[in-house]
Structure 1
Amino acid sequence: MSHRSLILAALVLASFAGPALAQDVRVYGPTETVDPGDVARILGAPEARPAIKMRSLRLLDGVRAGKPAPAERVATVDDDSAATDAAGPSEPKGPSALALPVQFGFDSAEIQPAARRQLDALAEGIRMLPAAQPVTIEGHTDAAGTAQYNEQLSQRRAQSVKQYLVAAHGIDPARLRVVGMGQRGMLPDLAPHAAEQRRVQFRGE
């Protein structure tokens, strides 16, 4: 593969991989008020969110003929995305998930009363979504304890949150998918044992 081909391949990967791999989570603090409207926007159906624009590159005629060309003109985007590029980078996407610091009893899946206010607001936001749209409930722990134990505990806690949303707010249980993440999916800017890692995370499907 020629040097010029390697440059083009790098440009393609840079334009595709960056936005696709980014994952932002809106993390709420223990006393923070949850806005149901924000919940609905974050968990909104993927087809309703702005799609990542996949751009194709095409070589200029001079490059195809093997003639030298200025570096900035080696590749150009299709006409339908040229206006966007000319205006500068697109606005950053909003968060794709939200996390609540749901409080449970020690070594337990019993939801503490202090957690209900945020869960009630979350439920109100879910009810603003299309009636058939699924929502995933992920249980997360910190790095204390074994991976197997934490995965089981996080599964039970996520299941407990599902049961609360169904029993207290009448949300269709078929819409709610439960996943025990355990120590997987740590928040990257925090220490593995930070209290904020112990959370229940929600995302739309």
Structure 2
Amino acid sequence: MIRYFSTLALAIAAALATPLVKAEKVMVYREGQLVIPQDVADVLGNTRSIHLLDDAPAAPAKATAVATGSRVNASARPSESTRAARNGSKAPASALSLPVRFAFDSAEILPAARIQLDALAKGIKLLAPGSIVTVEGHTDAKGSPAYNLELSRNRARAVRDYLVHEHGIDAARLKTVGYGPSQPIEDTDPYSAINRRVQFRGA
């Protein structure tokens, strides 16, 4: 009987220690895609899944919704998905992801990233005054986890500083966090370039 309770206690402890997988939606932009400020405000103003935008250049693109932890596909334009979410017919995206380009092995933002970051800043300015946005740095799995964690933190801070200095957004509204390679979007390939990103969510 004592052995049974010991085993039960260990099973419960293991279950509690296992992180819960929560399905969420992230609107993922690819490099060169147009970021629409109103969509930014819609996503960051919701506080819940992954939208992969197709490779169309500078135009609103169709999004593929992939719930984290599963492989569920659906198509919808970003503005349509946020509109549907307001009507309760679809779960809204809770974050958006940009493929911010940095110099190799560095937190220096390259000029190619600025167009998307500038549109993102316009979207943040549409949010209610005082609303908080979390800037998350993510890397792929190349290199040591400790190194990538520090790199992701530095890159999140660099993006925050860009939004503050170039767009006058109050630094107190922008929290930063780095996750290194621990939260890949493409979990079947931890080295995939899509995992190198900066993600934004309303706090």
Give the greater-gyration-radius structure (CA).
1
SS at match of 1:133: coil
TM-score scaled by structure 1? 0.68
Q: Does 1:140 align with 2:138?
A: yes
**Relative to structure 1, is the Cα distance of residues 24 and 45 closer, same or farther in structure 2, using a 3 angstrom cutoff?**
closer
- % same residue: 53
User: 2:167 aligns to what?
Assistant: 169
Equivalent of 1:119 in 107, 112, 117:
117
Q: Does 1:153 align with 2:151?
A: yes
Q: Is the 8 A contact 2:186 2:195 kept in 1?
A: no
Shift of 1:91: 2.1
Q: Which runs of 4+ in 1 moved over 4 A?
A: none
User: 1:29 aligns to what?
Assistant: 30
RMSD: 1.7
Shift of 1:189: 5.5
User: 2:202 aligns to what?
Assistant: 204
C-alpha separation between the residues in 2 aligned to 1:45 and 1:192? 28
CA deviations over 1:117-167 (Å, ceiling 9, x no partner):
000000000000011000000000001111100000000000000000000
Q: What does 1:26-175 correspond to in 2, within 5 Å?
A: 26-46=27-47, 91-175=89-173
Residue type matched to 2:142 in 1? A
Q: Is the 8 A contact 2:186 2:194 kept in 1?
A: no
Residue type matched to 1:136 in 2? T
**How many pairs align?**
145
Residue type matched to 1:195 in 2? A
C-alpha separation between the residues in 2 aligned to 1:104 and 1:203? 20
Unaligned runs of at least 5 residues, structure 1: 1-19, 50-89
Residue type matched to 1:137 in 2? V
Residue type matched to 1:29 in 2? R
CA deviations over 1:148-192 (Å, ceiling 9, x no partner):
000000000000000000000000000000001101111146511
User: 2:64 aligns to what?
Assistant: none
Residue type matched to 1:161 in 2? V
Shift of 1:94: 1.7
Residue type matched to 1:99 in 2? S
- Write 1 or 2 for the structure with the bigger share of helix: 1
Greater relative contact order (CA < 8 Å, ≥ 6 in sequence) = 1
**Relative to structure 1, is the Cα distance of residues 190 and 103 closer, same or farther in structure 2, using a 3 angstrom cutoff?**
farther
C-alpha separation between the residues in 2 aligned to 1:168 and 1:122? 12
Equivalent of 1:195 in 193, 196, 199:
193
C-alpha separation between the residues in 1 aligned to 2:175 and 2:182? 17
User: 2:5 aligns to what?
Assistant: none
TM-score scaled by structure 2? 0.68
Q: Is the 8 A contact 1:137 1:178 kept in 2?
A: yes
C-alpha separation between the residues in 2 aligned to 1:21 and 1:192? 19
Residue type matched to 1:91 in 2? S
User: 2:177 aligns to what?
Assistant: 179
